[in-house]
DNA sequence: TTAAACTTTCAAATATTTCTGAAACTTTAT
DNA sequence: ATAAAGTTTCAGAAATATTTGAAAGTTTAA
């Protein structure tokens, strides 16, 4: 397999994977491209490589920067902005986990907390509802905490977590 | 907040959360409905409650059963099928983790393995590509293993994992 | 074997998401 | 102050994904 071919395969499948995870195809593709690019790339270069419009490139680059997994750089003497991906994979994982928690899990927890705290009263229907949503709240909350802990300690997470628990 | 209101809020937000995670809205809503329903429900009842068509209900129920998080039941003397959700949350999490690994992570790993093993040759561009995709492979692989371990031991995962590692 | 009860399938309709491209905007150099 | 170089915005177009509904298929009971 040739480089160009391998590159395409990687970018395409990363894009497809992204869509399955609720990240749009282009955003995932730009990310993939930057992950395998030794140098930072200008918007022009990204547009060219992925055959996408300027608007699309601009919006998705901004999105990636909001996630904190792509950064801007200015090259001395040049006016263009250059973009590069976060290449430290631990750091990448931490950023993604944090953002997903903030954007998706936390709001879901709020809803669960709200709906699980209606007055259960006498009705057995209500009782069941508050019970189930309450359990769900506890569970999601626990999972979110674990995720937070795991990211907090990165590679050394296990040892440190054990220490913290035992103390 | 009244029960009906709370129920709607829960179902709607679970549906919205689903879309963000690449699970379609209706599928997530059916799942939400079954999670808070003390009894199993017929397809009619689900269609009615969520105002969706028969076809939609049928396809998404099948989807949920493929994930292993909703099950069919036959009530004695009745011809209809009744559906109920997996209510053990640990079990639910395990099922979801396993399926996502199988459907999404494993295929991604295959691509990463393939593309990272092109002959790097002399070109520094190729070298960089194989290096980066190789690292990505190791990382995703490690994460997938951790997920597997975590689900293998359910709530007691930490203690058992520690034991296993120390042995 | 028939028909009623129920479920599945799938082509077409609908809804949602993403993408384009051109205009508006911003920044920098002169 | 001007214009060149670059970036952002956003309304409409295009692409995707979801949903409907009716026909086809299946199962059960008599």
pLDDT in tens, B29-70: 999 999 999 999 999 999 999 999 999 999 999 999 999 999
pLDDT of A8 over the 70 cut:
yes
pLDDT recorded at residue A161: 65
pLDDT recorded at residue B119: 85
Residues of chain B with pLDDT > 90, as a percent, come to 77
Total domains, chain A:
2
Share of chain B residues as helix, strand and coil, in percent rounded to the nearest 5: 70, 5, 20
A2/B143 touch (CB, cutoff 8 Å), yes or no: no
If asked whether residues B143 and B70 sit together in one domain, one would say no
Average pLDDT, chain B: 92
B115/A87 touch (CB, cutoff 8 Å), yes or no: no
Distance CA B115, CA A27 (A): 20
pLDDT recorded at residue A121: 83
If asked whether residues A75 and A27 sit together in one domain, one would say yes
> In this structure, what are the phi and psi dihedrals at residue B52, rounded to the nearest 5 degrees?
-130, 165
CA dihedral A118, A125, A105, A30 (to 10 degrees): -130
pLDDT recorded at residue A154: 66
pLDDT recorded at residue B166: 66
If asked whether residues A7 and A63 sit together in one domain, one would say yes
Residues with CB under 7 A from strand D: A 19, 42-44, 54-55, 58-59, 61-62, 78-81; B 19, 24-27, 51-56, 59-60, 79
pLDDT classification of B152: cutoffs 50, 70, 90: confident
B124-138 pLDDT, tens per residue?
Answer: 999 999 999 999 999
Can you give the distance from the CA of residue B78 to the C1' of nucleotide C4 in angstroms? 14
B35/A136 touch (CB, cutoff 8 Å), yes or no: yes
If asked whether residues A81 and A94 sit together in one domain, one would say no
Contacts of B114 in chain A (CB under 8 A): 1, 6, 9
In chain B, the residue whose alpha carbon lies closest to the alpha carbon of A131 is B36
pLDDT of A159 over the 80 cut:
no
If asked whether residues B141 and B75 sit together in one domain, one would say no
Contacts of B7 in chain A (CB under 8 A): 115, 129
pLDDT recorded at residue B120: 79
Can you give the distance from the CA of residue B55 to the C1' of nucleotide D30 in angstroms? 30
Average pLDDT, chain A: 92
> In this structure, what are the phi and psi dihedrals at residue A72, rounded to the nearest 5 degrees?
-95, 155
Query: Average pLDDT of A109-113?
Result: 96
CATH value at residue B50: 1.10.10.10
pLDDT recorded at residue A120: 78
If asked whether residues A77 and A118 sit together in one domain, one would say no
pLDDT of B167 over the 60 cut:
no
Of B3, B104, B158, the CB nearest to A17: B104
| A19, A28 contact by CB (below 8 A) | yes
pLDDT classification of A22: cutoffs 50, 70, 90: confident
Q: Where is A81: in which H helix or E strand?
A: strand A81-85
Of B87, B104, B139, the CB nearest to A20: B104
If asked whether residues A94 and A155 sit together in one domain, one would say yes
If asked whether residues B123 and B61 sit together in one domain, one would say no
Distance CA B29, CA B42 (A): 15
If asked whether residues B14 and B47 sit together in one domain, one would say yes
- Which residue shows structure tokens 């070298």? B127
If asked whether residues A76 and A99 sit together in one domain, one would say no
Can you give the distance from the CA of residue B78 to the C1' of nucleotide C2 in angstroms? 20
If asked whether residues B40 and B64 sit together in one domain, one would say yes
Residue finishing a domain among B85, B114, B138: B85
Residue finishing a domain among B85, B112, B130: B85
Range of the domain at B162: 89-166
Residues of chain B with pLDDT > 70, as a percent, come to 92
pLDDT classification of B21: cutoffs 50, 70, 90: confident
If asked whether residues B98 and B47 sit together in one domain, one would say no
Distance CA B159, CA A80 (A): 53
pLDDT classification of B148: cutoffs 50, 70, 90: confident
Query: Average pLDDT of A113-120?
Result: 92
pLDDT of B112 over the 90 cut:
yes
pLDDT of B162 over the 70 cut:
no
List Cβ neighbours of B34 (8 Å cut-off, separation of 6 or more). Answer: B40, B41, B70, B83, B84, B85
A136/B89 touch (CB, cutoff 8 Å), yes or no: yes
Q: Which of B129, B137, B146 to mutate to test the interface with A (most CBs of A within 10 A)?
A: B129
Distance CA A79, CA A82 (A): 9
Distance CA A68, CA A50 (A): 21
Distance CA A135, CA A137 (A): 5
Residue finishing a domain among B59, B85, B111: B85
Of B22, B115, B165, the CB nearest to A22: B22
């Amino acid at each position: 397999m040739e480089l160009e071919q391998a590159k395409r395969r990687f970018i395409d499948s990363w894009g497809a994977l992204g869509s399955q995870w609720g990240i749009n195809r282009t955003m995932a593709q730009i990310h993939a491209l930057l992950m395998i690019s030794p140098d930072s790339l200008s918007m022009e270069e990204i547009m060219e490589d992925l055959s996408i419009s300027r608007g699309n490139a601009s919006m998705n680059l901004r999105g990636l920067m909001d996630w904190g997994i792509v950064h801007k750089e200015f090259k001395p003497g040049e006016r263009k902005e250059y973009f590069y991906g976060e290449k430290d994979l631990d750091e990448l994982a931490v950023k993604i986990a944090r953002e997903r928690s903030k954007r998706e899990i936390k709001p879901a927890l709020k809803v669960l907390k709200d709906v699980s705290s209606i007055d259960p009263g006498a009705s057995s229907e209500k009782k069941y509802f508050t019970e189930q949503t309450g359990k769900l709240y506890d569970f999601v909350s626990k999972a979110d905490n674990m995720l937070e802990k795991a990211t907090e300690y990165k590679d050394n997470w296990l040892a440190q977590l054990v220490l913290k628990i035992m103390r």
